Structure 1
Amino acid sequence: MRWRTGASALTPKHLAAVFAASFVASLLLLRPAATLYHPTTSAKYSPPDAPTDNDQIHSSIIVPAYHERDNLAPLVKSVFAAVRDPAGTEIIIVDDNSRDGTVEEIQRLKRDEGHNVELLVRTDEKGLSSAVLRGFERARGQKMIVMDADLQHPPEAVQPLFDALSPETPLALGTRYGEGVSMSANWPLHRRIISWGARVLARPLTSASDPMTGFFGLTRDQLHRSKPINPSGFKIALELLLKSPHPAHLPEVPYSFGIRTSGSSKLSSKIMLKYVGQLVSLYVWAWGVFFHLLVAAGATVAVQVGEKAWRLRKRALTRGQEYPLGGYHSDAGVPPLSPKAKGRSVAGSRGLTSKSAGANGGGLADWVGNVVGGGSNQVLERKRFL
């Protein structure tokens, strides 16, 4: 009956069992990524045949693309117009087999306009992070920058990002949250909320202002010193922030985030779920057993709070209800057989005046009313309960 009325509570023994079960479940279900990319041993593609002037290539720009044909020509022209040394810079487009004319467009840019742009078409794998890693393999420059193909990363910020890379600062980030820059006014509100939420979730892992950025740079030596990377994620910059050696200073280059003018965004609920999975893997990698203990503690608190809310709800629903043996809930306040609980005066219902009730002390009138009205069973049941 205490469980029915919500009067029972979880004991410390129950809570300990919940904590232990949650800890074991976290160990089994929340594990680091099984397939990892080792920068020095996982190379799949070899660089293309190097030209005679290969020593001139000192900077590489990796651009992962999928159905971005219309954006490629404006991007390539703008980048080469913005960099200080176009002859020493290359652009590598990593396309996930779009089959939308990307191959023909890159060939035209090389043949007709003479731009130093290479194309890698992948047919056996997909994904943003793996595309970036394959681009790193093909790159010939010591300095490497990653940027999107949709022109939301401004080409004029490429050279400042290259300049921020040095042996002392082998990793640099472009940030959308620096001073003097802003998001595009046409960027949808829901995208701003998603970006803010992603940053908040990653905040305990890094102090970088924009760890979700897709616009960043690093040196080849920094990549090769990195620990194994998850190639199936969508935030490769966050992986490198955590798994490559931490420089004494992390340069952040502010840039104004633009709006897509052609093509469609690749963001979807599936990608967001994969980001959460990648984030969990990074927490497990960074915090180890402590993360599983936090998960178990959170699950235990959630169960305790939920159980307390359920008990309060049950107590509210059963408040004032009578039970077969005449008992009533301990929080009923007023006994169910009292005139106040019945909503009427027993004495009044039997035609007894307040004067006659007073003459008999009230007790006789109540007793007569219960007997005449068939309430003797209730009286007996109440006495039995008491």
Structure 2
Amino acid sequence: MQLALENMTKSTELEDMYQNAASDVLVALCRHSWPEVAQHLETEFLTGVFPHRSVLYVMGTLSSHEELLNREDRARWENLLAQVAAKSVPFLNTDMWSRELLSALTTPSRTQQEELPEKTFLFTFYGMVLQAEEESTTVRAHLQSLLETSHQWSKQREGIALTVGLAASRHLNDVWAILDQFGRSGPIKWSLHSFSLKVPGPTSEDLRWKWASSTILLAYGQVAASAKAHILPWVDNILSRMIFYFRYSSWDETLKQSFLTANLRLMGAISRNEGAHSYEFSQISELLECLMVLMEKEPQDALCTESRPQALHIISSLCKLRPPMDTHRKSRLLSTCLRSVFALPLLDALEKHTCLFLEPPNIQVRPPQGPQGQSPRVWAGCAAQGHSRAGHSV
């Protein structure tokens, strides 16, 4: 154990790789010497000096790998984290500790796409500390500082949203106020499509704010998940904010996936609430309109996308809620879903996917028989073993 501790903070040419290897030794020791390792980690966190990256790496690895601890030790570990978070509350008012915390959360990683255990843990731990904080002014100040950092990378957006959601489990009113205030700020107005030409702000090259609205969407989803039994009084307000950012933000895959992820979390929170079956939701029709737009925007040249089943799952959940849809809206919704799922892909897409078949169909284009310029129709001649080849219109 002493060997691991000495090398965890040692600077070498291998940088993080060397320190991570030493940290992994300490992680392995947890299986046999859990009390000693836990005591050391707690001591490192409560010195008043922001802990070394390797300590965060160990904490993150232990938190993210369930198999490293048995059930009893896992419960003790979660209890230890809660205690350390509560004891770390005074550090929120220490300038040096707070600055180093924010720096550790926002320092770019090598690829920006990899999920570093230390950073994932730190976003969680930060939320737990804010959760334990009593003073709402402190909570608001820290959340405001966090939201003012870069929103360029997906892991950063997800981490910020996670911290906000954890803080909301105890400070829901404060979190709501900060998200609302942040949504009205200049950078967010700049990032929204409808204001991009009217509000002075960062140049189009400044990617720090381009996807800030996606962070807000994810944050509302995490807030919904954290609200638990209190979700129903807030659900319509949360939905109205989600709908606003969906409609007025610049459309891209990031916005779409953030919108779907947030709504999936919201639907999960609603489904776990016993009073949801009798609650009258005021934003269902507006949300369904957004989902129909999303389904219509799905590419027709892809036979399978991740977004379609997610959107259909949300729609299915909404159909179980009150008030029920009228006949006209139900017909439009069904038609939109059927067109999105069963629409014939483009010829190039069909040809590209024939490699997935053991006996690829013979895709042909029938010459147009109507007026000149009429789009050709796709024909597929399917060969089946023991049967003659026949052409069928698709």
TM-score by length of 2: 0.26
Structure with greater Cα Rg: 1
